[in-house]
Amino acid sequence: MPDKTGKPQKTWKSRLKRFLLWGTVTAVVLALLGVAGFVYVYKSTDIPDPNKDFLANASIVYYDGGKDELGRYALQNRDSIPLADMPDNVKQAVVAAEDQSFYTNNGIDTKGILRAVFNNAKGGSTQGASTITQQYVKILYLNQERSYKRKVKEAILSLKIQREQSKDQVLEGYLNTIYFGRGAYGIQAAANAYFDKPAKELDLREAAVLASVLNDPNDLDPADGKDARRALKGRFQYVLDSMAKVGDITESEAAQARKRLPAFPKVEAESTYGGQKGHMLSLIKDQLLGLEKPDGTLFTEDEIDGGGLRITTTLDPKIMADIEQGIEEVRPTEGEGFQPKQLHAAAATVEPGTGALRGFYAGQDYLDSQLNWAIAGGQAGSTFKAYALAAGLKDGYALKDTFDGNSPIKIGDTEFENQGDGGSASKGSAISLLAATEDSVNTAFIDLTDAMDDGPEKIIKTAEAMGIPGPKERRRGPGIPTSTPGLKPETGVALGSATVSPINMANGYATIAAGGVAAPVYVISKVTDRNGEVLYQHKVSEKRALSADIASDVAYALQQVVESPEGTGFEAAMDDGRPVAGKTGTATKDGGAVSSSWFVGFTPQLSTAVMYVRGPGNGQLDDWLPPSSDGRAGFYGGNYPAKTWKAIMSRALDGVPVEEFPEPAFVDGEAPDPGHTPYTPPPSPTRQPTREPTREPTSEPPTSAPTSEPTQAPTTTEPTQPPTTDPCGLLGCSPSSEPTTSSPSPSPSPPPPSATASPRPEPGREQE
């Protein structure tokens, strides 16, 4: 119909036709431009040299400072073989598991590329490669960046590879390049790493296992425990079912094979990981896998082993060597019935104030065992009393306050006792907290725990604040433990039945050395890509766990353990007179046998924990660990561990200026229980005035062994030293000086220790 001007009126149909016409033209133009652009990019994109590019992606690990190389991850363990040397079941298993359309597709996953572009436009994450060709291209030619640009480049290179190489060439390159875990790149290295045989000898089950683990090497290694083995079996059965689905094997063959995993022989680790290097690289990788990059994602196994990372650690090569040399100098090597390979002497050194792990010793050569005892740890024994002491001072008690040192004492339905002196080892009903620390009196610490409201909970809370992880797991996976098994709010918690790693124990004592300021322990300080872009930077996170006054009092009490003639740790005293603070520990397992032996100590500059365990970590040390050259029983924390600590720290602190500890504050708060005030003896004309403690401890170590070395069956406490001539005062009173109804008289000398053997302590409660 014409309008008022006489021109034909446009209808909606004509407008629609016009819109469709122009839309079609626009689409065609855009399509042509897109094709032209793709053709241009395709022709201008060159396939890089795979060997040069891939080898340049090796991740390098450095010691503290970022200059001296510690080691490298993977890339060195590859033995490329031709496709003809790979059995059909390997090729079939990998194709069935990773890309069932491999032989028919054009090398790319179009849907995956569009998904990546769409997700990137929305600000989401991209998806990984899906075809074997794309995976091969990503690993061999590209970095680990996840973006649509890399995805497009990956697609172009995949198309080019598809045109220039046959399917067999692509599969051969892929199977010689892909990472299978255990440091093995390529099917040949993987066959040797998992089954100790060349790839051409792999059977169906073994081939299915390797096709499974390449999907997730970090979580599917059967050597990592029951959970990993269970997850591997699920993937293993999926691979076999997929092979049956595509017709590579029959249903009956799949059903028969999927019943069980193949046997995994014990395979010797690579020699390049010998000594402590393997333990260092393993620990660093485990910690790195739990760190976040700036984009919020975690580092992956692929990035670590092939991403060209530059990883700077806190480890000091000198201190690593000092620890190993100190242990080798002291640890026994022979004795009747003694097997040196069963003994694991582990140690760790942490820097106070920062939490930096400066060195450790895992207990043995990595080639002999991959278990790191500086991580695995053992029952802490009386080294845990330091946290109970700190908790008691925080709760209002003072070093001069007294507690029940008699043995045994009963709390509720549980009986606790000291050891030594023929089994009774009573120290009197009024022994000061200072003396109880110095002489490691179990019953006094039990009394302290019971005297505090919610004492066990307060001790655990204080230990956590100082650097000992609580019982609840904070981070899954291996590495420095983030939980402490067996740490329960029980009356005997101060006696150390919980399993603590030497690394965490060294860090907990480092808090005392730092004046009460705690910092989480760490081993990785910085990570960059190979171009220098920072992907991770550690920031020291300080938090006050103890007041400076309480920290100085705890340090003073622990100094007496080493410097006092009555102290259980006198073997740790330094020859140069350097102030040392520390605590011995000797723990027992079920049945009363000694399961671990410790000394943890510090100077203002370094904190070091030393632990001796046997076999699986709870083997019996008493009646097995030989006595030292001076005839003292070897299983006490005050013997080999204290001597080892001294040998380590003498080396580590050689040439380092001597620093003094702060003067003790002798805090005296509002004690919640008034029944623990210091005992004041009645006046006596023959008695010397009570002296306040001084900060003039002897700088030279004692020259003689304790006079009360027990001759009965070994117990779980250090031999005691003779009492001081002044039995009362800040140190409390010995049993012979407690008040009586008779007229005051000088305290007689205590009788010598009884030689009568006592029953074994109850499991897990009788510590040094």
Q: How far apart are CA 482 and CA 501, in angstroms?
A: 10
What torsion do the CA atoms of 126, 130, 132, 133 make, to the nearest 10 degrees? -50
Alpha-carbon separation of residue 559 from 321, 387, 661, 668, 726 (angstroms): 27, 15, 9, 19, 19
Backbone dihedral angles phi then psi of residue 308, each to the nearest 5 degrees: 70, 30
* Residue range 318-402+454-652, CATH number: 3.40.710.10
pLDDT at position 676 is: 87
Nearest to 560 by CA among 574, 587, 575, 579: 579
**Stretch 277-289: mean pLDDT, rounded?**
95
pLDDT of residue 47: 52
% residues pLDDT > 90 (the chain) = 55
What mean pLDDT, rounded, does the chain reach?
A: 81
pLDDT for the residue 7: 54
Single-letter amino acid code for the residue at 603: T
pLDDT of 169 > 50? The answer is yes
Residue 434 sits at φ, ψ, to 5 deg, of: -65, -50
Beta strands (DSSP E) in 569-726 are: 581-588, 594-602, 607-614
Dihedral-angle region of residue 113 (phi above 0 means left; psi in -120 to 50 means alpha; beta otherwise)? alpha
pLDDT digits (tens, 9 = 90+) for 408-439: 899 888 889 887 543 347 888 899 999 999 99
* C-alpha distance across the termini of the chain, in Å: 109
Residues paired with 346 in a beta bridge: 611
| pLDDT band (50, 70, 90) for residue 664 | very high
**CATH architecture classification, 78-269:** Orthogonal Bundle (1.10)
Backbone Cα Rg of the chain: 34
Of 5 and 697, which is predicted with more confidence? 5
Q: What is the pLDDT of residue 119?
A: 57
Which sequence spans correspond to the domains of the chain?
Answer: 78-269, 318-402+454-652
Compute the distance between CA of residue 99 and CA of residue 93 in angstroms, rounded to an integer: 10
How far is 211 from 219, CA to CA, in rounded Å?
14
DSSP, res 585? E
Type of residue at 30 = L
Q: Dihedral through CA 651, CA 652, CA 657, CA 663, nearest 10? A: -110
Q: Does the pLDDT at position 94 exceed 90?
A: yes
Looking at residue 154, its pLDDT comes to 61
The confidence score (pLDDT) of residue 745 equals: 32
Burial class (CB in 10 A: 0-12, 13-18, 19+), 292: exposed
Predicted pLDDT at 238: 96
Interatomic CA distance for residues 711 and 1, integer angstroms: 124
Alpha carbon 21 to its chain's center: 68
Q: Cα 731–737–738 angle (5° rounding)?
A: 95
The mean-pLDDT minimum among 202-206, 480-484, 589-593 falls in 589-593
SS3 526: strand
Quote the strand ranges of 310-356, DSSP E. 310-313, 343-350
Element (H, E) at 194: helix 187-195
pLDDT at 473 over 90: no
Q: Looking at this protein, which amino acid is placed at residue 540?
A: V
Alpha helices in 427-585 (DSSP H): 433-438, 442-451, 455-466, 502-513, 548-563
Q: What is the pLDDT of residues 488-546, one digit of tens each?
A: 999 999 999 999 999 999 999 999 999 999 999 999 999 999 889 999 999 999 999 99
Q: What is the DSSP letter of 709?
A: -
Task: Compute the distance between CA of residue 665 and CA of residue 675 in angstroms, rounded to an integer.
Answer: 22
Amino acid code (one letter) for 660: E
Q: Are 64 and 170 in contact (CB under 8 A)?
A: no
Cα 491 from Cα 663, distance rounded (Å): 32
Task: List all residues 6 or more positions away from 337 whose beta carbon is below 8 Å from its beta carbon.
Answer: 624
For range 460-480, the mean pLDDT: 86
Greater confidence (553 vs 618) lies with 553
Under the banding of pLDDT at 50, 70 and 90, the label for residue 33 is low
- If you search the block for the tokens 């097995």, which residue do you land on? 624
Instruction: State the average pLDDT over residues 315-323.
Output: 98
Predicted local distance difference test score (pLDDT) of residue 669: 87
Q: Which two tokens stand for residue 517?
A: 């300021």
Q: What is the pLDDT of residue 431?
A: 95
Pairing of strands 378-379, 499-500: antiparallel
- 570 SS3 class: helix
Amino acid identity of 361? Answer: Y
Nearest to 692 by CA among 661, 667, 729, 662: 729
pLDDT tens digits along 353-381 = 999 999 999 999 998 999 999 999 999 99
d(CA 653, CA 458): 35
Asked if residue 720 has pLDDT above 50, the reply is no
> Residue length, the chain?
768
Mean pLDDT for the stretch of residues 217-231: 89
Round to whole Å and give the CA distance between 59 and 329.
35
In contact, 160 and 47? CB cutoff 8 Å: yes
| Distances 96 to 246, 257, 279, 371, 701 between C-alpha atoms, Å | 7, 16, 36, 36, 70
DSSP state, residue 561 = H
215 phi-psi bin (left φ>0, alpha ψ -120 to 50, beta other): alpha
Q: Mean per-residue pLDDT for 214-238?
A: 91
Specify whether the CB–CB gap between 556 and 664 falls below 8 A: yes
**Is 711 or 617 the better-scoring residue by pLDDT?**
617
Out of 32-46, 154-168, 636-650, least confident range:
32-46
Tens-place pLDDT, residues 325-348: 999 999 999 888 899 999 999 999
> What residue type is assigned to position 448 of the chain?
L
Q: What share of the chain is helix, strand, coil (3-state, %, to 5)?
A: 40, 10, 50
Higher pLDDT, 152 or 584: 584
Q: What is the C-alpha to C-alpha distance for residues 422 and 636, in angstroms, rounded to an integer?
A: 16
Q: Are strands 594-602 and 607-614 parallel, antiparallel or unpaired?
A: antiparallel
Best CA proximity match to 584, nearest among 712, 716, 702: 716
